[in-house]
Every structure is written in structure tokens, then in C-alpha cells.
Chains A and B, each alone.
Chain A
Amino acid sequence: MIKTENLTKEYNGNKAVDSLNLEIAEGDIFGFLGPNGAGKSTTILMLVGLIEPTEGKCFINDIEVARNPLRVKEIIGYLPENVGFYPNMTAEQNLDYFARFYAMMDARQRKKRIEELLELVQLDGVSQKVGGYSRGMMQRLGLAQALLNDPAVLFLDEPTANLDPEGVFQYRKLIKQLSDEGKTIFVSSHILSEVSKVCKTIGIISKGRLIARGTLEELKTELSSVGVENMRIIVETIEPMPEITHGDIINAEYDETMRKVVIEARSDIRDYISSGLLEKGIRIREMRMEEPTLEDVFISVYRR
């Protein structure tokens, strides 16, 4: 459905996107994660035909975007980051203006579709001009304009930015509904929690290059082996414990009673700890290793 081949975009000799190879299946909700300036928006702009790649190609439904931008725009929807509208027009007028560019919509169809969408994003009955909208309302209107042509592929750039919690909840519900309808959804964000809540697969981009790709669980496993080097082991005992010594321990923080310690270590030394305490007759109440969160993994990867 969405495919890129060595997609590259250079600005003044700097590669904003560097040989990106990506394939996203039909019906997938793909989360495109990366820090600010990683090349997410530039990739989307090439995929929606707003900028041309310096090298490489991208395809939507096997249509090459750079060669047939209009054919691609007929089947996609795009919510830009910080979406903008004509402030002197109402939401309905803005949507009607954009809808007129689609060949398949006559006046009656446009009116019906616009009414449906405004209801969907809860902007029906709002008669004020868009210039008076809050950022959240603009974002919701942006989602409506992206859905005008009932697109097969939807590109959403930072879709939850500016939305209030209720708006975010409605957005997630809508994405699930659209996915159930068989639409392919490409969500770009730098907020991991947002992507992990709605996306089926995730790609991580850093400095213009795709550094990881897979489901949430696959990524966690893949990245934790390379991304986070240190681990945290928490030990609680019934009796006060002596200080634990091991070559891999980087740091250990004991509480005042010496019954709890948080150890930061280079390797999993839980066996060494348990046998050492057992030898000294100290009963262990709890011992666990805190797995790195996906957030920790990503931060670690981004910083590399």
C-alpha cells in the first residue's frame, strides 16, 4: 500500500531523509516515531506529493507519487502538523472549498459528506469563522478535511497535538474505526505513548534513517538488547542486608533500614545476589529486575 525505495531528501547538502526503505501493508496502522527533526514530516511531505524527493521513489497503491501526484491525492488524506485553514471562512466553507477539487463529488454529495464529517469531529452547529477557533478545534477540523474524500490511505502528522483528553480519546476511537474499515493509516509522532496506543506496527526514524521496524513487542525486544545497556534490580529483604559487591554493579542505593536496595548493574546479577544473601541467612521478601520501558529504550536509541 505504502512503499518507499531509497527515499532521500537533501536540503543544502544535508540529508533530512536518508535512503528510506519502507513497506506498509494495507489496513495497517503504522506509527512513525522519531524525535523532532528526525525527518518524519519530510517523509510524509514526499509521500503526499508536496515535495519531490532528491533521490529514490515512493508509491501509494503502486502509483508513483512524484509522477502522478494528483492521482495519489485523490486516494489519500493528509492532516499536516499545525494544520491551517482560511480564517475568513466557516468550517463548512473551508471543507466545501477543498471538496470541490475532487472529481467524484457533486454539490449534494459534498454537502452530505461535510455534514457527516463535522458531526464526526463534533464541529457540527459551530457557525463561527475558523479564525476564531481554538487549536484543538482546528486540529479536529484538520482531521475532517483529511477524511473528505473517504481516503484509502491516511497520513496524520502529530495528530494529537493540541487535542484535549476528550479529543484524544475520540481520535483513538476514530482511528480504530477507520482501521476496521480497511484503511491504511500512517501516524507520525514523537510521542511514544500515543503511537503505542493506536499503532499495529512502528518504525523509528533518527537522523533521516529508519533504525528499527516491527510490532511494539518486536521493537521492545530488538531494541532492549542494543538500546539499554544497564539494568535496575530491586531487592527487599526481611532482615537488614550487608552491602552487596560485584564487578558489574555501577550504583547501589540502600534505604536507611538496609532492607531495600536499588542496584544499577551492567548485567543480570540476580542469581549472584540471591545465593549471597541465602548464604548469610537473609530472607528475601522480593527481588525483581525492572525492565526498561519502551520509552527508556527509545531515549537510549535516540541518544546514540
Chain B
Amino acid sequence: MEAKGLFNVARKEFIDHLTSRKFIIILGLFLIVSSIAVYQGVGDYNRELTQYKEQISQTKEVPVSWMPQKPSILLVFQRMSWQITMLGGILAIAMGFDLITREKESRSLKSLLSHPVFRDEVINGKALGGILALVFAAGIAIVISLAMLLLFSIVPTMDEFTRIIIFGTVTVLFLITYFAVALMMSTVSRDSGSSLIYALIILFALSFFMPTFANVVETSVVGEPPEFPGMHYVHIRSVNADKNESEAIISPPVTPVSEEEMKRYEEESNAYWEKRRAIHDAISVVVPNENFQAVTQVVLNPHFERFQYGVQYGEPPDAGEEKSLSEALGIVWKNILALVIFPLVFFAVAYVKFMRMDIR
């Protein structure tokens, strides 16, 4: 494969993206929302830092068995990751949905391919140009965030800085996933309108339908969670039938809870939630948003503890031991792998379709 053609196409596509109105508008929106998220994150960080300092001063006066955790500036980027999930996906789709259909509609594809350039250089160049533009977009967002931190006199440590870079890399992988979806749709669709609609359907299906679907599958496979022993019953008693008023009466424990019963319940409950989590993980590994969130949660929270559906009995979710970066990445390697494989699959479909496309 000649690199000259590839880089020529990539160069043109990169410039096209950066100068296109839709890219500038969505990127601008993306940066504004990210900056707001960072600003709010800095507020949260400063608040937690004040609390931390107060707790530290209290522990000097009254000895306690636990030490409070120092807040991390990574908190700032956790907020940002939520904005990226939705707006980033839209930005990536906006960049890719008409890459091929627009060429067909303007009939420039035939002109382009009549010059000495291989077809694979065209599709690969388009992909490369788009990826570079996404790297540029994510890079700007990260640089602005870091600049804002410095403006607030917050300097990240080396470990935090590395985690921010990894967050940026994962963000690019996430954006590339939806860019690849859009590029594929642009290759298989008849026109740009259809391509945009199909790409958005996939975005929304993966963002909203798949999590609901996962929940339904989990419940249908493992059923309801085991009942807590010695459960309290709640009776609803009508107190004024005319006005349709009623009151709730909570009964005392039906049966006394023995230690053995409690232990059995915990075992059953753990087994139940483990099974449920395994099903959830299996389904959500095909959802880019879930993979992105899984990785960013672990990378941006050194005290991350894998908890069950946000319910860690008796402990806050971030109360775990501090995890090194390699440990953190070890937890989410499947999600990272999925974020690499996903775009590759979509690119492969786009590539094959484009190579076989009838240019008439």
C-alpha cells in the first residue's frame, strides 16, 4: 500500500473536519460542557479537601481507628467523563456519518478514484483523518481541563497525571468507536440522511436500550434477590375512606434472626449478586458507554472497590484500598479490550463494503 495516497487523504480529511461548521459547533459545545464539569469538579474537590483537613485536625485531637482519605483531583475528570459519554458520541457520529455518502452525493468519489490512489488508501485515510481530529478534540478538552486546574493552583501528581493521560486515551477509544459506527453507516447507506439516522439509532440503542435489556435478562435468569431474614411487614391501613387517606404500620420483626440465618442469607445474597453481576458484565461488554464508564471509574478513582449495582452494604463505594494503576487496569482489561475491538469490527465492515462498492 502506498503511504502517499493514504496521508494525502488523511490530511485533507483532518483539515475538512477542523474547518467544518458542525465539528466546530459540537466541539465548542463539548468544550463548554467539559469546562463546566471541570469547574464544578474543582468545587467538589475543594469542598472535600476542606472536609479532609478538618477531619485530619480532629484526629489529632481525638485518636480514631481510621484515617480519612485525601481527595484526588481525578474527581474533576470523573464529572467530565459523564459529559463525554453522551456529547462525545454525538460529536463522533457527526464527524463520520457522511464521509462516504457525501462523496457519492457530490460525485467527487469517482473523480477522486480516477487518480492514482488505491481504494483502501481512501477509506483508511478517511478513518485516519477522523481519528486525528478526535485525538485533537479530546486533547484540547484535556489540555483545557489541566489549564483550569493550574489556574485554581491545583497541580496533579505524577500518578494522577498518568491516570489523566490514560483517561484521555480511553476517551479517544470511546469516540473512535462511535466514529467507526458512523463511518460504517456512511459506507452501507444510500444517502447521508439515512446514514445519520441509522448511526443515531445505534447510539441510542447502545446507550439506553442495552442497559434496560441487560436488567431484564438478569432478572429473568437469576430472579429476585433473596429475602432478608426477619423481615418487617408493612401494613397499609385506611384511616379515612372518604378522603382516601391511609397510614403505614410497620410490624416488629416477624421472627428473631439467628446468626446462622444471617450467615446463610449473606452467602445466598453474595452468590445472587455475583451471578447477576456476571450476566450484567457479559452483556454490557458490548456497550461502549458501559465500557468507557467502567474504565474511567476505575482509572479515575484509586480507591475504587467493585461494588454491586452501586450498593456496597455498610461502605461507601470508594472506601476500598488504594489501587495502583496496573491493578486498576487489570480490573477493567476486558472493557479496554472491548473498546479496542469494537471500532476495529466496525472499521472492518466499512472497509470491506467500501472495497466492494460499485462506483458508477
Contacts and interface: CB of A to CB of B under 8 A. Distances in A.
Interface of A: 41-42, 45, 48, 50-51, 70, 73-74, 78, 80, 82-88, 97-98, 100-103, 142, 145, 148
Given A80-B110, A101-B8, A45 B115 contact: no
Contacts of A42: 360
A102 to B, nearest CB: 6
A80 B117 contact: no
B4 A78 contact: no
A51 B114 contact: no
Nearest to A99: B115
Contact of B16 (A48, A73, A88, A145): A88
Interface string B2-19: 101100100010001001
A152 to B, nearest CB: 14
Which 4 A-B residue pairings sit nearest by Cβ, starting from the closest? Answer: A84-B107, A78-B114, A73-B116, A101-B115
Interface residues of B, number: 24
A234 B156 CA distance: 101
A103 B4 contact: yes
15 contacts: A45-B359, A50-B113, A51-B358, A70-B118, A73-B117, A78-B114, A84-B108, A86-B106, A88-B20, A97-B8, A100-B8, A101-B115, A101-B116, A102-B115, A103-B116
A51 B108 contact: no
Given A45-B360, A73-B114, A100-B8, A80 B16 contact: no
B244 to A, nearest CB: 65
Contact of B117 (A45, A88, A101, A148): A101
B112 interface: yes
Contacts of A87: 106
Given A41-B360, A45-B360, A84-B106, A98 B111 contact: yes
Contact of B110 (A73, A74, A84, A101): A84
Interface string B329-360: 00000000000000000000000000000111
A42 B8 CA distance: 28
A82 B8 contact: no
B359 A50 contact: yes
Contacts of A88: 16, 19-20
Given A45-B360, A101-B117, A50 B112 contact: no
Interface in B154-195: none
Given A48-B114, A50-B359, A98-B112, 15 more contacts: A45-B359, A50-B110, A50-B113, A70-B118, A73-B115, A73-B117, A80-B111, A83-B107, A83-B111, A84-B106, A84-B107, A84-B111, A85-B106, A86-B108, A103-B116
A82 B113 CA distance: 15
Interface in B285-318: none
Contacts of B109: 84
A87 B117 CA distance: 20
A85 to B, nearest CB: 5
B14 to A, nearest CB: 13
